[in-house]
Amino acid sequence: MSSPARFDRGHTDDLMTFLAASPSPYHAVANAAERLEKAGFRQLSETDAWDAGAGGKFVLRGGAIIAWYVPEGAAAHTPFRIVGAHTDSPNLRVKPLPDTGSQGWRQVAVEIYGGTLLNTWLDRDLGLAGRLTLRDGSHRLVNVDRALLRVPQLAVHLDRSVNTDGLKLDKQRHMQPIWGLGDVQEGDLIAFLEEEEGLPQGEVAGWDLMVHSIDPPAYLGRDRELLAGPRMDNLLSVHAGTAALAAVSAQEKLGYIPVLAAFDHEENGSQSDTGADGPLLGNVLERSVFARGGSYEDRARAFAGTICLSSDTGHAVHPNYGERHDPTHHPRANGGPILKVNVNQRYATDGSGRAVFAAACERAGVPWQSFVSNNSMPCGTTIGPITAARHGIQTVDIGVAILSMHSARELCGADDPFHLANALVAFLAE
């Protein structure tokens, strides 16, 4: 069996490129698809009949991508090895009537998406990106990646208690970004985007738009051992999963069908046609089985032998808030990927899953760590429990430890992205 090349710091360099080029879930899946196409994968339409041929394939739907590689001679009941992730990040998203303003300022009306750290969007130069839907039903990606918007904080002179009593932000009143001066004109924002894209006036019939920080990812620290950047929760995992799937597709023999499942809407519950709680993954896996001549019995056998690594970011121990973490579980930056455990099923990991993950890390030669929440604090969750419950497949929650989760700009160890990618290769290629 041939072995894929091991990832190194060049993987982290490439992650920075991927993050900068993916300001929305739609851009993220387009960039992942482009990388897979270069590795020989081809896109399938959900409305077409699927063939039984071997090779790499993928399906795009909105901000989600499901990609898989069928080895030569794979039986219909061949189990899957899945890397699960999500493409969305907490941010500010444009409302249906976007043009607003007050006191001579022109503003853009936004909703708060997910559990974002609101203060991290203040006094930051912001761009605008997402998807435009045209009158003929087609879509156009748009990315205004320059200083277009800004959410200005109130000056300390007008809020003398801000540094003693803390910053208090009202999501409706305080988070609407400015983008100019003058009277509010209905239709201004969309007309501006039509002009940016060279579209006729009135061509845009719908939009899914969001703001993003225009600050590029960067190495940080004296020895450049840290990485700061936007949307690492969870494009770091999407990027690693894409690279790992492309790498294992070059191997001569695989015992499983490797899969990348990157969903949208994890940050608000996953309940959508592109979310992990929707039917997309199950439909794709079943159609793959049936396209290869399989029966329901083959489908049941394949699912029974399938394992999913749900890869999402987790919490590194914080130097200023050590008491918020479990006293004996302190994941550290550059300590390798983390195994995430919660006995109340906020994470799907059990002892059997621990063994699967540990074995993959051992084969990859990468360190790994354990994460569990402080008992006195609620635990977050991921697509892991949803995937396990919806499809009845063994699921293990893992990821990379970061600081500033859900900030407009997050922080991780610069070595951990390629540690994760190498572990995913070992898992997919077993």
Q: Which regions of the chain are under pLDDT 70? A: 1-5
Nearest one of 309, 232, 247 to 12, comparing CA atoms: 232
Q: How far apart are CA 169 and CA 182, in angstroms?
A: 25
Confidence (pLDDT) at 253: 87
Q: How far apart are CA 40 and CA 250, in angstroms?
A: 9
Six token digits for residue 267: 């940050």
Q: How far apart are CA 337 and CA 340, in angstroms?
A: 10
Alpha helices of 271-311 — where are they, by DSSP H?
Answer: 280-291, 296-304
Using CA atoms, how far residue 349 sits from 35, 291, 311, 353, in Å, is: 30, 31, 12, 6
pTM metric for this prediction: 0.97
Angle at 149 between CA 108 and CA 165, to 5 degrees: 90
